[in-house]
Structure 1
Amino acid sequence: MHSKAESDDQRPITGLALEVIGREGSVAFIRDGEVVQSADLPSDVRATASLTPALESLLISMNSAATGSSTGQAESPLPTQTSHPEFIAVADGPGSFTGLRIAAATAKTLAYAWGIPVVTLDSLSVLAAAVLPTGAAETEASGDDLPGVGQRMMVGLDAYRGQMFVGTFVATEAGWQSDKEIELLDRDDWLETLESASPGTWLTGDAIKPGLPTAQLRVVGRKQTLASALAKLAHQEYLVGQTTDPMEVLPKYFRPSAAEEKAASSK
């Protein structure tokens, strides 16, 4: 466990966040709880090819801003041992098998190289947090943008093969808090869950498709990049020492891969 309280260092608390929950992904840099830069990965390039360049570009920009210098071609894209962030955050699942693996491996490698901890958060908590405006806790956002304490949220993440990952959350003054284990539902169970939800329940995620019974629910989209939401959640976790050793970071798939299911069914 590691926390800022363990050190008298008065430097700003900085963190790097990355996620590849779905087919695409995003990266973000946070300083003292404020996301200062974030970007979605390009939709026309696989995350395997776009994640590292996106991180390099972000880190170059942040290092240049911190030193007040312009970035030259010869400048190293990665922070030095004295300028690295205090933590790296990664969404560790559920989600895309390939995406989760790439994100976890990247976070693990950088954290190990810099000697810093990793903060891991489940993907559905990140999706829930992303529907809030950036800085919602610090700004005067409208009532339409913020949930009232006690309101409920369902998050549906398309798991493909006719299944959905579903999480449920309740709004607190600190944000959305999970109140149930993540479930893997077949389509019929997903439809039943939607139909039985209380009117006014917030609903988000890419499992929300046209034609679903959502008329009585409040369907909302994300208001920030997923990496921004991840960074803000991770910053709070870091402050209280909820971190993971880099070598213990592993993606959580929540189900076997298609190949594993096929092999099991053939036995």
Structure 2
Amino acid sequence: MTGNPTDMDSFATNLDVKHSLQLAIETTSRAGSVALFSNDCPVRSVSLDPTRRSAATITTVIESVISDLRGPVSGSRGSEQRIQLISIAAGPGSFTGLRIGVTTAKTLSYALHVRLVAVDSLAAIAAAQFDANPSIDEILVALDAYRGQVFEGRFQRATLLPPIDSDLSGWSALPDDVRVRPMAEFQGDLNRDVSFQSGTLSIAGDAKPFGALADRRMEPACDAIGVGLLGLLAAAKGDFVSPMELVPRYLKASSAEEKAAETG
């Protein structure tokens, strides 16, 4: 390895996004996942065991996924393959899961000397659902943020997943409108949302925020595929991040910090 790994200019700059090998990682949900992209298409995806901690399974799953690189990958040339891009769901989500996923992605980027991009976790869930359900154009994603709070994001297919060759100057894999707010407030707005009440708005995420209508949630998709789709766009735009500078996107204080603030 040459160059300073903290200097992004020392990483390969001639990345052909559409014809690259990308490793996408997501560990923010109860069952995290990993996906391998070749030539801008997912060629393999694996979900982590939801009954075990991500820290105990993530390395094994990644090793299993990239073992495909020892032989020809669909759509690739020859048998000598190398990861060229790593994408990570940086949050919001589980504090422990975020730390595990972000640390894993940072370590791999540093060790393999490859470009790294970070994407929003809720946006990744939406992107995975858009990919799995071509007829869906709008989706509301909500995750339980605990202590009476919810992470919320509402996404349009055309806005979230524009063509990779389009003008991406106003696009971001970390949208500003993803937020955390009181769950009671979120549910109150849902009760007044005509598109939600009529069933025309697709929903995904955790059951708790949606209350009695949680059974309307879309079937889970492989969120790492959503990470990879957004990662391709982020790379095409040039939104790379140094592995030394990437931090989890918590959007809220930890439980310990919130309790300290209440008693302080």
TM bucket normalised to smaller? 0.7 to 0.9
Q: Say if 1:18 and 1:90, in contact at 8 Å, map to a contact too.
A: yes
Q: What is the CA distance between 1:192 and its match in structure 2? A: 1.1
- Residue 263 of structure 2 aligns with which residue? 266
Q: What is the CA distance between 1:83 and its match in structure 2? A: 4.3
Aligned-residue identity in percent: 33
The 3 A distance-change label for structure 1 pair 48 and 182 is same
The 3 A distance-change label for structure 1 pair 12 and 195 is same
Amino acid at match of 1:15: Q
State the alpha-carbon separation in 1 of the partners of residues 157 and 131 from structure 2.
Answer: 14
- Residue 233 of structure 1 aligns with which residue? 230
- Residue 140 of structure 1 aligns with which residue? none
* Match of residue 183, structure 1, among 171, 179, 183: 179
Q: Say if 2:22 and 2:84, in contact at 8 Å, map to a contact too.
A: yes
Amino acid at match of 2:258: E
Structure 1 residue 52 and structure 2 residue 59: aligned?
yes
- Residue 146 of structure 1 aligns with which residue? 135
Q: State TM-score, norm by structure 1.
A: 0.78
- Residue 165 of structure 2 aligns with which residue? none
Q: CA RMSD in A?
A: 3.0
State the alpha-carbon separation in 2 of the partners of residues 42 and 28 from structure 1.
Answer: 15
Q: What is the CA distance between 1:53 and its match in structure 2? A: 0.6
Amino acid at match of 1:206: D
Q: Say if 2:22 and 2:86, in contact at 8 Å, map to a contact too.
A: yes
Task: Provide structure 2 residue ranges, at least 5 long, that are not aligned to the other structure.
Answer: 1-7, 75-79, 163-170
Q: What is the CA distance between 1:162 and its match in structure 2? A: 2.0
Amino acid at match of 2:62: L
The 3 A distance-change label for structure 1 pair 262 and 174 is closer
- Residue 109 of structure 2 aligns with which residue? 111
Q: What is the CA distance between 1:201 and its match in structure 2? A: 1.8
Structure 1 residue 163 and structure 2 residue 149: aligned?
yes
State the alpha-carbon separation in 2 of the partners of residues 212 and 174 from structure 1.
Answer: 28
Q: What is the CA distance between 1:214 and its match in structure 2? A: 7.1
State the alpha-carbon separation in 2 of the partners of residues 213 and 9 from structure 1.
Answer: 44
Q: Secondary structure at the match of 1:194?
A: helix
Where do 1:71-82 residues align within 5 Å? none
Q: Say if 2:24 and 2:86, in contact at 8 Å, map to a contact too.
A: yes
Greater helix share, 1 or 2? 2
State the alpha-carbon separation in 1 of the partners of residues 31 and 235 from structure 2.
Answer: 26
State the alpha-carbon separation in 1 of the partners of residues 90 and 160 from structure 2.
Answer: 22
Q: Say if 2:149 and 2:180, in contact at 8 Å, map to a contact too.
A: yes
- Residue 96 of structure 2 aligns with which residue? 98
- Residue 32 of structure 2 aligns with which residue? 25
Q: Say if 1:84 and 1:114, in contact at 8 Å, map to a contact too.
A: no
Q: Say if 1:29 and 1:35, in contact at 8 Å, map to a contact too.
A: yes
